[in-house]
């Protein structure tokens, strides 16, 4: 998967200089170590996530992350069975929300690097590659029913213009980036 991650990020047209700088850091890490995709790489590793939008792009599905203690888009670590970063993000969405009838955009929407302490108990740096996932329209126009996993404390649809507090800047930035590429219905 490292080769496909390198190719994807190398060809990704970063929307801002900040995002271009992050992309270069990700590319440098991927080029220098074969472990950059795995949680065991303690100095820092690539993770995947997705802003999940309902078919109308009026609501986003967030999980209450037990370790972070805040509402975040679904996401997590890459696994050996993931052929691509998008595959990993889609797997995480399915695992954490129970949603299966969804569509993922193949191109990242946003990169985000942040400190985190993984399940191994070691402080590290997550180099997250974010994607956009859209649900299919439902008969009544409401977001589809999602199922909480044992990885989260809660799971809830939120209006994109009324994100939960405390609202970290990166959550608002991720949702805004997803909406910028998504028509609202």
User: How much is the pLDDT for 153?
Assistant: 92
pLDDT score, position 132: 98
Among candidates 105, 129, 109, 104, which has minimal Cα distance to 36? 129
pLDDT given for residue 120 in this prediction: 66
Distance CA 110, CA 177 (A): 7
- The CATH code of domain 2-180 reads 3.90.79.10
- Residue with the bigger pLDDT between 169 and 25: it is 25
Note the pLDDT of residue 115.
Answer: 78
The pLDDT of residue 165? 82
* Three-state DSSP class for residue 126: strand
Among 1-10, 102-111, 144-153, 168-177, the range scoring the smallest mean pLDDT is: 168-177
Residue 118's nearest CA partner among 155, 62, 66 is 66
User: Which of 35, 26, 46 has its CA nearest to residue 118?
Assistant: 46
- pLDDT tens digits along 72-127: 999 999 999 999 999 999 999 999 999 999 999 999 999 999 877 776 677 778 89
Q: What is the pLDDT of residue 179?
A: 95
Where do the domains of the chain lie? 2-180
- pLDDT of residue 29 exceeding 70, the answer is yes
Q: Which 8-state DSSP code applies to residue 85?
A: H
Residues 6+ apart with CB under 8 A from 76: 47, 48, 49, 92, 95, 96, 151
Q: Note the pTM of the prediction, 2 decimals.
A: 0.93
Return the CA Rg of the chain.
Answer: 16
pLDDT tens digits, one per residue of 31-80: 999 899 998 888 889 999 999 999 999 999 999 988 778 899 999 999 99
Residue 119's pLDDT is what?
66
């Amino acid at each position: 998967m490292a080769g496909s991650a390198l190719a994807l990020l190398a060809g990704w047209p970063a929307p801002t200089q900040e995002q271009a700088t992050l992309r270069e850091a990700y590319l440098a890490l991927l080029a220098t170590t074969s472990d950059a995709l795995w949680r065991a790489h303690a100095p820092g590793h690539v993770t995947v996530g997705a802003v999940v939008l309902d078919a109308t792009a009026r609501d986003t599905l967030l999980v209450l992350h037990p370790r972070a203690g805040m509402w975040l888009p679904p996401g997590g670590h890459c696994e050996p069975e993931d052929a691509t970063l998008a595959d990993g993000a889609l797997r995480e969405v399915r695992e954490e929300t129970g949603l299966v009838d969804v569509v993922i955009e193949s191109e990242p929407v946003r990169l985000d690097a942040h400190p985190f302490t993984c399940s191994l108990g070691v402080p590290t740096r997550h180099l997250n590659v974010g994607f956009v996932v859209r649900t299919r329209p439902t008969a009544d126009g409401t977001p589809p029913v999602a199922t909480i996993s044992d990885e989260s404390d809660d799971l809830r649809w939120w209006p994109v213009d009324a994100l939960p507090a405390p609202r970290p800047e990166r959550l608002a930035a991720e949702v805004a980036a997803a909406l910028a590429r998504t028509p609202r219905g």
